[in-house]
Chains A and B, each alone.
Chain A
Amino acid sequence: MGKATVIPFGPQHPVLPEPLHLDLVVQDEKVVEAIPQIGFVHRGLEKLVETRDYNQFLYVCERICGICAAGHSIGYAETIERLMGVEVPKRAEYLRVIWHELSRVHSHLLWLGLAADAFGFESLFMHAWRLRERVLDIFEKTTGGRVILSVVKVGGVHRDIDDSQMKEIIYVLDGIMDDYRKIMNTLLTDYSVKNRTVGVGTLSHEEALALSMVGPFARASNVNYDVRSLGNGAYGDLSDFQPILDAQGDCYARVKVRCLEVLQSIEIIKELAAKMPAGDISVTVKGSPAEGAEVCNVLEQPRGECYYYARGNGSKNLERMRIRTPTSQNIAGMVSALKGCDLADVNMVILTIDPCISCTER
């Protein structure tokens, strides 16, 4: 029985995608305990509500995270619309969901590349990011920006997607599907990948419930919770939405859930594009939130459930805006999953949680 050594991991590390610090208590190559430390990208964005009014704060909210930018702008706009009792036109809701699902496709493709790179499969990383570039080109053509979209406003959206653009989007997505299926097949049936991921970092269903995990991380442990099933906005018009679940709870299951979610998102986009109603894309919002009014909202981001809370104080500035991001909820789960794994598997486990530390610390 060896002595326990403490190995510091991060915030700068070749395989670590996010600035997270872990103190790994290791005994003979097995991790006994992991103590997390965050706070390297804390920008204090929630305090900016004091100096930016509720329209300007939308642009601050978008920049909490580059990968989840579309999600945060949509979640914030929905929260303020609830606070002020604004009804958004149907077409705007559909457009928001289409951009959000495209954002989910791009986020999962990004993650797929990183996960492959974590155990050395660089060519798959390059292919996944090559396909992701096509999605970013769609964003550029329809919203004007590749990563930060700035297309959502309180009361609707700024830009419309006309029929020819919609046809082009579907054409690009169909073009991605062929190559994507090859990548997915490789990742899920290859012997070396299975060797690195099956049975690693297992969390059972009971543990997942006790640790209040969210997102694909939890759905891979058979926790049946996806905010999209609640039917907010245009998600309520989907004919049949079933969250993708897997009962194994190990790294392989998490990889599988995310791979299948990309296909599900593409199906959602096609369904909504066919059903899109005509009409306005925004309503004018005047006035300010009432004093003491408070409201909460949830949204399914690529990494899980994101909770928004807003309180007004009668002026154009909000009293408090709070964004609880999914990765911060999953930190407890990550710490539990790391117990008992090999030192070489640590970065694999961390990556399959899909951490987004920018979101966590705001």
Chain B
Amino acid sequence: MAFQSEFINIAIADLSDCAANRKAEGARYVQTLAVNTEAGVDLIYTFMAGDKIDNYKIPAVSKDDVVPSISQDFLAAFVWENEIHDLFGITFEGIAIDFGGAFYDLAVKEPMTVISPAQLAAREKAAKIAAAKAAKEQAQAASAPANADAELEAKLAGMDPEKAAKVRAAMEAKAKKEAAAKAAEKDAEMEAKLAAMDPEKAAKVRAAMEAKAKKEAAAAAQQKEGE
């Protein structure tokens, strides 16, 4: 990048010294801005020397804090400090040209800190979705097979090709057996349910199952022929 920029956290008490130091070095004052967050208002002061932009961030300033003004060192700051006072409600002490809240003639006081009901609803919804996603990811990570598979694949890749083929065949056979076992379990469950059900309904369900089995067999036969 043509210029470098950096974000540095400082405290309210350090602000005056920081501004005085930068002025003594001959740095240029660029701007002051405020960001409304849940914890408070973040203030960012920017200075520039050469091609380096330094952004000093004071996180989470509340309405009760009093921030010292830097307009004695840098007169151009009075515009921003008045604007932040009007739009965000932060109190600055000692602004060189102080408009006392009449800089912008606003209909709503401190509008940038006002969050409309529609916005609140949208934020809560986004927070819920994010929480659900995090929970789902945790649950997935907890299940081991995913990890085990990855490890096995890595081992196979490192092994002798013939041996690898044998191992893979064995793994497939094991998987088929497990699938067959699962299918058998499912069948047993179905039988139990059918026995418990109404005879007519049971007959219908059985017919449907047979049709499905026929279809699956036909599909499997086609696949084998294809191979």
Contacts and interface: CB of A to CB of B under 8 A. Distances in A.
Instruction: Please tell me whether chains A and B touch each other in their complex, using a CB distance cut-off of 8 A.
Output: yes
B46 interface: yes
Chain A binding surface, main DSSP class? mixed
A103 B2 CA distance: 22
Chain B interface extent, by class: 35 or more
B76 interface: yes
A230 interface: yes
Interface string A268-311: 00000000000000000000000000111010000001010101
Nearest to A207: B75
Given A39-B104, A296-B55, A332-B75, A319 B35 contact: yes
A324 B33 contact: yes
B28 interface: yes
Interface in A199-251: 209-213, 225, 230-233, 235-236
A320 B35 contact: yes
A42 interface: yes
Given A46-B112, A298-B3, A315-B126, A211 B51 contact: no
B104 A42 contact: yes
Interface string A36-77: 001100101011001100000000000000000000000000
Contact of A212 (B28, B111, B130): B28
Nearest to A40: B105
Interface in A314-362: 314-315, 319-320, 322, 324, 328-333, 335-336, 361
B92 interface: no
Nearest to A322: B33
Interface string B60-91: 00000000000000111011100000000000
**Which residue among B7, B33, B119 has the maximum number of chain A CB atoms within 10 Å of its CB?**
B33
Interface in B159-195: none
Nearest to B129: A315
B76 A332 contact: yes
Contacts, number: 86
A266 to B, nearest CB: 23
Given A42-B104, A307-B30, A333-B76, A50 B53 contact: no
B210 to A, nearest CB: 48
A35 interface: yes
Contacts of A233: 2
B33 A309 contact: yes
A18 B2 CA distance: 34
Contacts of A331: 76, 79
Nearest to B28: A212
A298 B150 CA distance: 47
Contacts of A212: 28-30, 74-76
A211 B76 contact: yes
Interface string B26-45: 10111101011100000010
Contact of B7 (A294, A324, A333): A294
A361 B86 CA distance: 13
Contact of A329 (B31, B55, B119): B31
Given A236-B2, A320-B35, A296 B76 contact: no
Contacts of B111: 44, 47
B115 to A, nearest CB: 8
Contacts of A309: 33, 44, 55
Contacts of A361: 104
Given A50-B119, A232-B3, A333-B76, A311 B35 contact: yes
Contacts of B53: 296, 298
8 contacts: A211-B75, A212-B29, A235-B2, A295-B5, A305-B30, A309-B33, A314-B130, A328-B80
